[in-house]
Each structure stands twice: as structure tokens, then as C-alpha cells.
Amino acid sequence: MANKSSLFQKSLLQSAIKQSVVKLNPKLMFRNPVMFTVEIGTAIMLGVCIWILSGNTTQGSFMYNFIVFLVLLATLLFANFAEAIAEARGKAQADSLRKTREETPAKKVAEVGKIYSHQVDIIPSSQLKKGDLFFCEAGDIIPSDGEIIEGLATIDESAITGESAPVIREAGGDKSSVTGGTKVLSDAITVRVTTEQGESFLDKMIALVEGASRQKTPNEIALTILLAGFTLVFIIVTITLKPFADYANTPITIAAFIALFVCLIPTTIGGLLSAIGIAGMDRALRANVITKSGRAVETAGDIDVLLLDKTGTITIGNRKATHFYPANSIDEKHFIRCVALSSISDDTPEGKSIIELAGLQPQQLSIINPRFIKFTAETRCSGVDFENIRIRKGASDAIKNLCEQAGNKFPEETAAHVHTISANGGTPLVVAENEKIIGVIELQDIIKPGIHERFERLRKMGIKTVMVTGDNPLTAKFIAEKAGVDDFIAEAKPEDKMNYIKKEQAEGRLVAMMGDGTNDAPALAQADVGVAMNSGTQAAKEAGNTVDLDNDPTKLIEVVEIGKQLLMTRGTLTTFSIANDVAKYFAIIPALFIVGIPSLQGLNIMQLHSPESAILSAVIFNAIIIPLLIPLALKGVAYKPIGASALLRRNLLIYGLGGVLVPFVGIKLIDLFVALFI
């Protein structure tokens, strides 16, 4: 996905040029009030040219008026081209994604009563419905989005993410989600379809990059209204010049009036506004980030606080059991058997690693009429009941409370092991039999490489990072310090994340949340920017407004930079566009009145050749500046984490002062050329 293709490929140019003409349709132009008024002006100039050909002699020469008409038409085409090339880049990506979404045979699993067999029916992927099961093995293309309910597999996601390294997806836990269009490389999985036809992840990506589902953001709408206001003001200004001209006994041609109007309204930003928004979404996609709206990208540019789930986000997520510590009076073999029994129904990587470390055969774990207790965020423990035995494993405080309520003490040696494991960054799981502590399991988590440096960059951007974990405070503190986050929330329940987000939002801060599990879904929905990992559960991806295809916990850096780029690009080009008007004012106003009011010669600081050349030079510059700025609109203004004030000073100097000086130079050079023919 993340390709580094050039901005202007031949195939894209051909499509964009064609669309530039198609977009001249007034029904389409009406959506952009600035350029729509330019189109009206262009139509009037065409009428003036026809009027001159019919014999009128009051509006100057036909050639002069026709050139003004052509330049105005070019202005429209250049503005349309900016939007069209941005759309074409998106459509090129969409075509690539469509190849991935080609009709795929699906091995639908037949339902027999309440038991699903692996006898499959081969059907087209388009016939799969939400809730259906399908089977995939090595070499198969996954036909639809879904959740793995059985098995594990190595999957090639390069068609979606652009990354060639295969990933492991398995039933249970937070890495059970698979995406349609990806390929199974090894093993086999049974998957439950989680989306209806036409609503898959790939379908949404195609709609986004094509611009079909792109809606103007609140900021874009606000700027459009502002530009429309500017345009209205300059319509009034231009109209009121007519009585002044009559009073000064200075006839002004229609071409001059229209040229003045077109040059004074913010045509530069008006022509580039849509392209900036489309390109922002495009840059997000090229960074392997799918956003459900442009608003999410813009909001990311103003984020104050970032919440990150620890497991799978900051850490690799597949914690492994590394050691068993039985209590002093407990036989080690008995403890290991109890540990293994409590993990029989635990499909998570942690549970599987406990069975693996125990090294017991299935026949050694056979029990009569077991009742398995599933882990929940509320109880923070799991286990099994059989005969008169109750085995529980879970967070130390949860098991401690369970035992103390039954009147049993928490052994000192177990407390010491819990403290040591936590202090070393591990996760202790305390095990109890019939509400008596029998020992501790040590789980070790691995922090993702390079994470500390990434958080430091976020800090320079002014973003506070907060790690959220269900671990005890000691473990959380160790991981937080090692990872380099600013703060942490330990022993967190799902509602704790929600409450923290609401508290920060109530204090006027914008909050981003990153997560991958179903338990993260409420917080992802509440956050201003909810970034879900592509490897995470379907619930998490549906709750967030952004999906990270790379499963990178610090991908928010890219999302923030793209958001800031989008806001900065729109702001700086607006500044540049308005600053341009200053120079054009000094070019056209003296040209209009210099004959009737010679004293205005002092305003002709560029010493332009003649009134006709001055007007023509201004409109030509006004036209050609749009295509010259298209690369900047598509790439975005460069962002560096140097602070808002420093960025503002830099951009005002470059685009504010530059916006004033560049037209003076450009119009003068064009005038020197135009003077050769007038």
C-alpha cells in the first residue's frame, strides 16, 4: 500500500486532464463558490468576445478580450486539474485494491444441528453472509472479513498493508481478526464472517480512496464559507468601482472589471482547497492508516493526550509463562497440575504457554464434568470447577480478595514472588485451590523495539502519553518507565479508560485512544480519535474512526503529522492566496485609473508597460500560480516538532511574506514578456 510513486504519472495525468474539462459542469462547480464565480466571469468574457465580433467597439480589441477569456478558462481548468489529480491518485489505489477483492471461492462450512463440520461447500465469496463460517488452508485467499473461531495460521497481508512479512492470526485473544483479500500461507483456520457484502474493510478502503465517501470536514466547510464571504465582499468592491470610474471620467472595460474581480478573490486557495483535503486522506492511506473520515485526521493534528493499551500495543502482546513458583507447603507437581487444569479452556497465547511450560500430556489433564470459568474484565480471573475442587488463576489482588473473603491468608513468600516478578516487568498470575493460595505463575511481556524513541517524539509534539493496563502498579510502573510513557493507569477496568477519557475531554483536551481488543471498543468510540489495530478484534475496528494497518502503537505520530500537515497546508496556502492580492492590487488599480487620475502613477511601483499589459499579466499570474502550487497541495507543508509558535513564525515568513513578494516578481516578468506583443 505504501508506495512512493511520483505525483504525476502519465496514466493519472490523462485521467486528470479529462476530468478537468468534465468538472466545468456548473452543477459540479457550484460546490466551490469561489471558482463558480470565476466560471461566471469566464462565461461573461465569452459573451463579450461574441459581442465584439458582432460590431461593438467600446470593449477594446477582440484579441485582447479573447486572451483574457482563455486565461480565465485556464484558471478554471488548472483548479479542476488540482482536484482531479488528487482524485486520480486515490482511484489508482482503488483499482489496485479491487484486484485484491476479485471474486474469491469460499469454502463455506456446512452446519449440522449445532455442530459445524469441516465438510465444505465451494461458493463465490459474494454469496457469504454475516454469521456464515468458512474454512481456509495454506494457499487460500481469505474471501471475507471475519473472526477466527478455530485454529491458527500464518497470513500474508501484503495486499492490504504493503508489508511482505507474514503475521500469525489465531482464535481467541486480540489477534483473531482477518481481512478479506489476504492469503493464508500455512496451517488452517475456520472463520466467522463479521460483515455484510459491500461493507467489508476492503470495500470501505476503496470508497475512501476514491473519494466517494469523502465528506468535507468542519474546518473545510468553515473555510469555504469564509472564502465565499471574501468573494461576496469583492463582488461589492468591484461593482462600486463603476460609479467612481464614471465620476473620474475613466471608462473601464468589462474585461478589466472581471480581471480585477478574479485577481482579488482568493482563487489560489479556492482552486486548491478540495485537492488539499483529498491529498490528506491519500497521505493517511499511504502511511497504512485507514480513516473513516477526514475529520479524524484533522482532529489528530490537535491531539493533547494519547491513551495506549499495553498488551499488544506497547508490548508484543504474546506473554509467555516463564516460571512456576509454588507456595512453601505445596508440592510442585500438584501445583503444576492445578495450573495446567486452570488453563485448559484458556485459548489465549498466555494460556497456551502455561500448558506448554507445564509439559503435561492430555491424559494427565482429564477430569470429570468440568465447569470452566472464563476470564472477565470484572473478575480478572479464570479457572475450573470439578468434583469438589475449585481452581482459580488471575491478578494477584483479585485472587487475594477471593481467598481473604474465605478466611484464608495470603502467604508471605507468594507476596514476595508477586513483588519481585512485578518489579522485573513481568506479570504475576496467582493460583488458588479451594480459596487457598498455592503459588504464582510468572508471565513475561516484551516491549516493542524503538518504542522509547517514538514516545519521545510524541512528547516533543506536545502530546502526553498514558499507558492503560490491567497489571498491578509495580508491573505497570516498570513497563511505563521502560517504554518512556508520561503516565500510566494500572489495574484498569474498561470503565476506567472511559472515565479517564471523559475527564480529559471535560477539561478541554482532545484525546486519542489506541487499542486492539473488544474491551477497548467503548474507549475507542468515546475518544476524539480512536485508532484500532488491524490485527485486533472486529469490535475494536468498528468502534474506532481510524485503523492502523501496520499494528504500530506509535502510528499516531504519522497520523498527528498528517493531521498537522493538512491544517498547516490549508492555512499557509490561504495566507499565500490572500497575500497575493496585495501585489495584484498594485498591478490592476493603477492600470484602471491611471489615465483619468495621473496621480495614481505613484502606486504603479512595478512600472508595468501599459494598462492592458498590467491587467493581462495579473490574470496570467493568477492562473499559473495554481498549477505551480499543486505539488505542495498534494505533498503538504513539511511539519517539524519545533513548537506551534516557531511553526507559525516560519510559515508566516515563507508563505505570508513570500505571498506578497512572489507576485511582484512574477507579474513584472510576465509584463516584460507581454509587452513584446502589445
Provide the pLDDT for residue 376.
77
Provide the pLDDT for residue 103.
61
More confident residue, 228 or 611: 228
Crossing angle for the helix pair 412-423 and 473-483, to the nearest 10 degrees: 10
Residues known to be catalytic: 309
Task: Decide if pLDDT at 114 tops 50.
Answer: no
Task: Decide if pLDDT at 393 tops 70.
Answer: yes
Please state, in angstroms and rounded to a whole number, the distance separating the CA atoms of residues 458 and 11.
38
Provide the pLDDT for residue 110.
72
Q: Is 55 exposed, middle or buried (0-12, 13-18, 19+ CB in 10 A)?
A: exposed
Q: Is 650 helix (H, G, I), strand (E, B) or coil?
A: helix
Task: Decide if pLDDT at 8 tops 70.
Answer: no
Q: What is the CA radius of gyration of the chain?
A: 33
Please state, in angstroms and rounded to a whole number, the distance separating the CA atoms of residues 498 and 505.
11
Provide the pLDDT for residue 4.
43
Count other C-beta atoms under 10 Å from residue 238's C-beta: 20
Amino acid letter, 454: R
Please state, in angstroms and rounded to a whole number, the distance separating the CA atoms of residues 46 and 29.
18
Find residue 227's DSSP bridge partners.
Answer: none
Task: Decide if pLDDT at 96 tops 90.
Answer: no
- Taken in order 371, 372, 374, 378, the sign of the CA dihedral is positive
320: left (phi over 0), alpha (psi -120 to 50) or beta: beta
> With contact defined as beta carbons under 8 Å apart, do 208 and 283 qualify?
no
> With contact defined as beta carbons under 8 Å apart, do 367 and 343 qualify?
no
Provide the pLDDT for residue 554.
67
Q: What is the pLDDT of residues 331-344, one digit of tens each?
A: 999 999 999 998 88
Task: Decide if pLDDT at 277 tops 90.
Answer: no
Least confident of 196-205, 479-488, 577-586: 196-205
Across residues 438-458, what is the average pLDDT?
Answer: 84
- H/E segment holding residue 136: strand 133-137
Distances from the Cα of 138 to the Cα of 149, 158, 180, 182, 300, angstroms: 17, 16, 15, 12, 39
Provide the pLDDT for residue 652.
86
Distances from the Cα of 106 to the Cα of 121, 144, 149, 180, angstroms: 8, 9, 16, 11
Provide the pLDDT for residue 175.
74
More confident residue, 266 or 361: 266
Q: What is the pLDDT of residues 526-573, one digit of tens each?
A: 888 888 877 777 777 778 888 887 777 667 778 888 888 888 888 899
Please state, in angstroms and rounded to a whole number, the distance separating the CA atoms of residues 508 and 510.
7
Task: Decide if pLDDT at 439 tops 90.
Answer: yes
- H/E segment holding residue 383: strand 381-386
Provide the pLDDT for residue 263.
87
For 495-532, the DSSP string reads: HHHHHHHHHHHHTT--EEEEE-SGGGHHHHHHSSEEEE
Find residue 392's DSSP bridge partners.
Answer: 383, 432
Query: What percentage of residues in the chain have a pLDDT greater than 70?
Result: 89
581's CB contacts (< 8 A; 6+ apart) are 263, 264, 266
pTM above 0.75, yes or no: no
636's CB contacts (< 8 A; 6+ apart) are 276, 279, 280, 283, 562, 565, 566, 568, 569
Backbone angles phi, psi at 443, to 5 degrees: -110, 135
Q: What is the pLDDT of residues 159-190, one digit of tens each?
A: 666 565 678 888 876 678 888 878 888 888 88
Please provide the distance, in angstroms rounded to a whole number, between the alpha carbons at the two ends of the chain.
52
Q: How far is CA 610 from the centre of its chain?
A: 51
Distances from the Cα of 289 to the Cα of 302, 328, 471, 485, 512, angstroms: 17, 52, 29, 23, 15
Across residues 650-672, what is the average pLDDT?
Answer: 89
In the sheet that holds 436-444, the strands lie side by side as: 320-326, 436-444, 426-433, 389-394, 381-386, 371-373
Least confident of 98-107, 130-139, 549-558, 575-584: 98-107
* Residue 36 confidence class, pLDDT cut points 50, 70, 90: very high
Across residues 101-121, what is the average pLDDT?
Answer: 65
Backbone angles phi, psi at 217, to 5 degrees: -75, 160
Across residues 263-268, what is the average pLDDT?
Answer: 88
Find cell 505551480 and name the residue.
628
* Residue 243 confidence class, pLDDT cut points 50, 70, 90: confident
Provide the pLDDT for residue 28.
87
Provide the pLDDT for residue 70.
94
Across residues 491-508, what is the average pLDDT?
Answer: 86
Closest C-alpha among 175, 292, 212, 214 to residue 529: 292
* Residue 436 confidence class, pLDDT cut points 50, 70, 90: very high
